[in-house]
Structure formats: structure tokens, C-alpha cells
Structure 1
Amino acid sequence: MPSTFNNRLRQIILLLIIILLAILLLNQLYVFLPGFLGAITLYILLRESYYRLTIIKRWNKTATSLLFIIASLVVIALPVYFSINLLTDKVAGILSNPMELMMDAKIVGQKIFEKTGIQLLTDENLAAFQKKAATIIPSLLNSSAGILSNFAIMFFLLYFLLKNGRQVEKFLDRFIPLKAENVELLSTETKNIIKANAIGIPVLAIIQGILAAIGYAIFGVKDWGLWGFLTGIFSMVPVVGTAVIWVPLTLYLYSTGKAGPALGLLIYAVVVITNADYAARLTILKRLMDVHPLVTIFGVIVGIGLFGFWGVIFGPLLISYFIILVKIYINEFGSSRPPEAAPSPKD
């Protein structure tokens, strides 16, 4: 008995040390969490193709890993780089002439006040906005440095995951304290949701951004390419989505005396931009995986706060994990009452 008690005590102490070290490491490496999550995402997306080439076709593992990393760099890093440059240049151009922006905002505010009696934009609000806007460029530069660091971590970790992924998976199989069928369920759910969100959500953003840019160009919106890009970005935001961009643009057109283009843009946004999201979700995302809309909406809300950009992928995964783990708990530890016997004919 004392030996058993001592073994249990040593086990608890060791687990506490492991947990404390894990918390310490997470606290120090939290800034690089997007890079870690990005590497896991890319590994899951590339895993099957990588093993097909290296195991079945016997390609060199190092060369194949580097090839996949270069391809990922072209597909992901270059668009991000050009996006940051686009935003930085455009924002710098706007902030170099803030009075034009302030005058446009006053025109919109005055028009809203005339129609509704609500004073949304006052001189104090505009002054506060101008002061806040002056910090945008430094914050963009700081975020650029963080993005570059996380990209470096992501591709560095991806290289080792591709080369040693099988050993990592075998370790996780031994480490997870669940039945084999439940481990398989977690694995399948992880792959499906990551594929659905990592592929589906960017595709939806691209579709809505292109459609929005076309509409903005048709109805005479200045810098229609920039606003189309921002519409695509905001399509990832749950609930409000693309309306964050096209509603103010519609109001601006109407406030500047362009009632016809404003009405046209409003109809185009409601009929084309908004419905394109629903149509794409019913086709693209449903083919990748039939994720419930509430899981996606609340998952993105939770995920963005926890993980930043990668929250659009891992937020829904967290909620799905919660639901699955509840089912697994019931399956593993729930009471297994035998079914009641059917009444006999004599009864």
C-alpha cells in the first residue's frame, strides 16, 4: 500500500511539473502561436500529398519538404506581402491628406442628420478618429514584423513536421488517453474542419472581394480595388461581414449627390455580394464538410480573440472539439444501462 501511494504521489507531482512547464512555455511563446497553428494547418493540408510522393513514389524527403515549403510560400506569403503593401500605401496616401477625408465624413454625417435627426459624426468624433488614424501606419509596421516572424516559425516548423510527421502522430496516439475509435473520430474531425475552413473561407473571401470590386467599379466608387480587397477581408467577420464596407460606401455615394449609383450599389450588394456568400457556403463548404453555421459563427468569434487570423480555422475546431469530447465522455464513461426487456406476450 505505501508503495502504491508513493507511486501515485510521484505521478501527480510529475504531472504538475509538466503542466507548469507547459504553461510557462505557452506564456513565453504565445506571440508565435499563429506560426505554430499555421504549420499544423499546412501539415494537415499537405500530409496526404507528401506521403504519396515520398512513400509511394519514393521522392527524397528533404527535397520534397523544401518543394512544398516553396509552393506554400508562393501561395500564402506573396499575397500577404502584396496585401500589406497595398494597405500601407493606400493608408499613407489617405493620411497624407486627412482634410479631404474629414470633409467627406462631415458630408455623410450631415446627410444622416438631415434624414434621421441623429448626429453620428461630430467635430469631437472626427478629431478623435484623426488622432487614432495617425497610429495606423506604426501599428501596420509592427504587425508586419510580427507576421514575418510567425511566417518564419511556420515554415521552419512545417519542414520538421513533414519529415517527422509519422513519429509525431505515433506519439500522439500513445499520449491521448482514449479508445482507438474515439482517437480516430478526433483525427477525422480535425482534418475535415481544417480543410473546410483553410480552403473554404479564403475561397469565399476571394469570391466576395472580386464581386464587390466589380460592383464598386461599376457604380463609380473611388479606389474600388482597395475597397473590394477590404470587403473580402471583412467577409470572414461573422454576423456583420461585408456590410461593414458596402453600407458606408452606399451612404457616401448618396450623401455626395449620387443617389442613382448609391441605389444601384445597395441593390447589387444585397442581391449579389450577400447572396454570393450563402451560395458559396451551400456549395463549396458543404462539399468540403457540412459544418453547422452556428459552429462557424461562434467559432470565429471565439477564435479571433484567442488566435488572431488563424482563429477563423481553429475557433470552429475548438467548438467542434467541445461537442465531440462531450460525446466521447458519454461513450467512454457514461452509464451503460442494459435496455429494458420487451414485455412478454403473456403480460
Structure 2
Amino acid sequence: MEEKQQTNFEKIAFLILLLFITVFLTYILQPFFFAIFWAVLVASIFSPLYKFINKKVLNPNLCAGITLITVFLCLILPVGLLIDLLVVEAIDIYQSLNSSNNNWIGTLSEVLKSLNNNPLLAKLDVDQAFLISKSQEALKALTQYVLTHISEFTQNTIFVFVSFAVMLYSLFYFLRDGKKLTATIIDNIPVDNKHLRHFIDQFLTTAKSSLKFTFVIGGIQGFLGGLVFYLTGVERALVWGVLMFGLSIVPAVGSAIIWAPAGIIMLFLGHIWQGIVILLFGSLVISSVDNLLRPVLMGRDTQMHPLLIFLSTLGGIAALGFSGFILGPVIASLFLAGWKIFPEIFQKEIQQ
């Protein structure tokens, strides 16, 4: 009896020690969580390329290096250039708002004058000076918000570079040893291998689908939006196209935040056919890309309802920031997978 109690005490003490070490390791790795997450995600997407190169080149280190260079040239460099473009434009807009003579105030004045010329809206007796002042303040606040986050980003340059280096370093090993690492995790975690593999498959499938289809849908929406802006004479069509690409991570309403106000402003400025074209093209073509492709493509791969995809994406962005547009659907997918396995496990216990 005493021997059994001693054994139980040793097991409990070991579990407490193991829990303490695990929590402490998690705390140490916590600053690089997103870097490691993106490394896992990119490695899973580019693993077919690594396997293809490995058939031609037997050296695994060289294969991982070639794949890493490809990732940098095809993914990281273009994204960096787009971010640089948006930063330059944000600074330019902020400087133009602070200057005494700028096109923003002139455009807003034209819009308000056209509103006052409308018999119905003229009865409201809109105070143009007040609206111009408040609109300028709102635009300044928006650009100031962007610039503040940019300055915070630049102030943490060392941490950003370290995180980027951690991502690339982790990516190299995930590409080279991904299969071994997965097998090690499955063998050492005290969960049924079948269930654990199901969780891993769900995680990778949902994460890859979210990233791939966001880039595909965002690229199509950004191209179409930039094209219709260019054809209708909207200034900085390329920048607006890039913004629509970035906002496409928000399902259903993302790019509409750009093209809908643009079309309405064009109508108020007297550019009737341009405004109608933007609104019709946006509602019938640009929005259809998101409304038709995202539920079909993501829902087919992840087996999730479009409403759950929408809510988990928005919730993920709100809770976790930029990476939330992938982590949100991933967590929702794991939640569904867990509850699907739950009855199976307990049914076996009842039968036993």
C-alpha cells in the first residue's frame, strides 16, 4: 500500500515538474509565436516544391536553401514592396493634409456644394466649414494612426529583424525536417495518433486555405479595383488597388470600404458615368469574387460553413491582429474537429 502511495506521489510530482517546465518553455518562446507560426505555414505551402527539388538534388540542406530563396523572391519581397508603397503613400497623404493648399479640401468642398444644390439636401442647411474642418480632422486622425503604428514598428526595428530572422531560420528547418518533427510530436504526445494526426491535418489544411485563397481573392479584387479606378480616372489607382488587396482579408465587406465611397464621391462631383461604373462594377464583379469564391474554395477544403468562416476571420483579426485572419478560421476548424472526435472517444469508453 505504502509502495503504491509512493509511486502515485512520484507520478504527481513528475507531472507538476513537467507542467512547470512546459509553461516556462512556452513563456520563453511566446515572443516568437507568430514568427514560428508563419514559418510552419509557409513551410507547409512550399513543401511540395522542396520535395520536387529533393528528387533532383539529394543534399537536404541545399534543397531547403533553394526553397528558402524561392520563398523570399516570390512571397516576402513582393509583400515588402507593397508595404513600402503603402507607407510612402500614407506619409504623402498626411503631409498633404497638413499643408495649407491641398486637393482633399478642394474635393470635399466640391462634394458639399453639389449636395447643397440638391433641393432635398439643401433644406438641411449643411455647415460646409464645420464639415470640412471635421473631415480634415478625421483624415488626419486616420493617417496619424497609420503613422503612429509605422513609428512603433520602426522603433522596434531590432525585435522585428530578430523575429524575421527567427522565421527564416525556423522555416529552413521546417522545410528540411518537417516530416521528422511531425512524427516526433505524434509519437510523444499522449493522444491517440489517429486523432492527433486529424488535428494536425485540420490545422494545416485550414491555414493553407486561408492564406492561399486570401491571396488569390485579394489579388483578383485588387487588380479589378485598380483597373476600374484607372479607367474612370481616379487618382492613385495603383495605391487603391493595393489597399483593396490588403482589406480583402476581411470577408464580404473588405474591398467595398474603398470602392463604395469612391463611387459615391464621383457621383457627387458630377462624374456620373464614372460613379455608376465604379458602383456597378464593384457590386456586381468585385464583390462577387469574394462572395462566390471564398465560401466555395475555403468551405470545400475546410468543410466549414461560410458564416463560421466570416465570424472566425473577423474575430481572429479583432483578437490577434493581422495573423488572426488565418488563426481565427484555424481555431474554429480545430473546435469543430474536437467536437467531432469527442462522441467517438466517449462512446468507446461507454461500450467498454
Structure 2 residue 46 is the aligned partner of structure 1 residue 46: yes
The secondary structure found in structure 2 opposite 1:277 is: helix
Q: CA deviation at 1:180?
A: 2.5
Are the counterparts in 2 of residues 303 and 316 from structure 1 also a CA contact under 8 Å? yes
Instruction: Give the alignment partner of residue 218 of structure 1, picking from 221, 224, 231.
Output: 231
For normalisation by structure 2, the TM-score amounts to: 0.83
Q: Which amino acid aligns with 1:78?
A: L
Q: How far, CA to CA, are the matches of 1:130 and 1:243 in structure 2?
A: 22
Q: CA deviation at 1:212?
A: 0.8
After superposition, residues 173-188 of structure 1 pair within 5 angstroms as 173-188=186-201
Structure 2 residue 245 is the aligned partner of structure 1 residue 232: yes
Q: How far, CA to CA, are the matches of 1:132 and 1:57 in structure 2?
A: 51
In the comparison of the two structures, how many residue pairs are matched? 334
Q: Which amino acid aligns with 2:285?
A: V
Worse overlay, 153-162 or 186-195: 186-195
Structure 2 residue 310 is the aligned partner of structure 1 residue 297: yes
Structure 2 residue 105 is the aligned partner of structure 1 residue 95: no
Q: How far, CA to CA, are the matches of 2:147 and 2:136 in structure 1?
A: 18
Deviation readout 1:239-272 (Å, 9 max, x if unpaired): 4211100111112212222122111211111111
After superposition, residues 32-71 of structure 1 pair within 5 angstroms as 32-54=32-54, 56-57=55-56, 59-71=58-70
In structure 2, the partner of 1:261 is 274
Pair 191,104 (structure 1): closer, same or farther in 2 beyond 3 Å: same
Are the counterparts in 2 of residues 37 and 310 from structure 1 also a CA contact under 8 Å? no
Q: CA deviation at 1:168?
A: 1.5
Q: CA deviation at 1:19?
A: 4.3
Worse overlay, 324-333 or 196-205: 324-333
Are the counterparts in 2 of residues 106 and 121 from structure 1 also a CA contact under 8 Å? no
Q: CA deviation at 1:58?
A: 5.4
Q: Which amino acid aligns with 2:69?
A: I
Pair 206,148 (structure 1): closer, same or farther in 2 beyond 3 Å: farther
Worse overlay, 294-303 or 310-319: 294-303
Q: CA deviation at 1:107?
A: 4.4
Pair 128,336 (structure 1): closer, same or farther in 2 beyond 3 Å: same
In structure 2, the partner of 1:247 is 260
After superposition, residues 1-347 of structure 1 pair within 5 angstroms as 1-27=4-30, 29=31, 32-54=32-54, 56-57=55-56, 59-98=58-97, 99-108=102-111, 121=131, 123-124=133-134, 126-134=136-144, 136-143=146-153, 145=157, 148-281=161-294, 284-285=297-298, 288-334=301-347
Q: CA deviation at 1:284?
A: 4.7
Q: Which amino acid aligns with 2:308?
A: V
Q: How far, CA to CA, are the matches of 1:91 and 1:172 in structure 2?
A: 45
Deviation readout 1:12-51 (Å, 9 max, x if unpaired): 3213313431452255x1xx33321110101211234424
Q: CA deviation at 1:4?
A: 2.6
The two structures, once aligned, show a CA RMSD in angstroms of 2.9
Pair 308,279 (structure 1): closer, same or farther in 2 beyond 3 Å: same
Q: CA deviation at 1:194?
A: 2.3
Q: Which amino acid aligns with 2:17?
A: L
For normalisation by structure 1, the TM-score amounts to: 0.84
Pair 71,316 (structure 1): closer, same or farther in 2 beyond 3 Å: same
Q: CA deviation at 1:287?
A: 6.2
Q: How far, CA to CA, are the matches of 1:238 and 1:213 in structure 2?
A: 19
Q: CA deviation at 1:219?
A: 1.6
Are the counterparts in 2 of residues 200 and 288 from structure 1 also a CA contact under 8 Å? no
Pair 22,239 (structure 1): closer, same or farther in 2 beyond 3 Å: farther
